[in-house]
Structure 1
């Protein structure tokens, strides 16, 4: 499973390690992902999501249904 947030669409970014002598080598900036279970009371079921810390804040702010609806509209999730 790829390291992509299913709510925000955040994924791994590529950048440089810069040493004291200013030499640059490639590195990856990983997403702060969590594998969380959420309860959908409308469907009376649990769902599993890979969610970043920012995605958890969006779910807390908007609510789970609104966040899932926005993620589906943007194409981040398809089968939930």
Structure 2
């Protein structure tokens, strides 16, 4: 699945651009994704796409 966090399933969301006259045009809000290796223990690592908020949580736990 492209552009989706594999930990929390955060993905692309649709919204609107708003001009000064409040005219609405469609836009996309994309997730801030990183490709990182996560240590699962016993020397086994997995490469995953994770968002920045999940990356901060896992780095505090010491898994990245």
Instruction: Specify every segment of 5 or more residues in structure 1 that has no aligned partner in the other structure, as ranges.
Output: 65-80
2:22 maps to 22
Question: Which structure shows the higher strand fraction?
Answer: 2
Question: Which structure shows the higher helix fraction?
Answer: 1
1:74 maps to none
Rounded Cα–Cα distance in structure 2 between residues aligned with 1:55 and 1:8? 7
1:53 maps to 52
Matches within 5 A, 1:1-80: 1-42=1-42, 44-62=43-61, 64=63
| TM-score, normalisation: structure 1 | 0.68
Query: Segments of 4+ in structure 1 off by > 3 A?
Result: 61-64
| TM-score, normalisation: structure 2 | 0.82
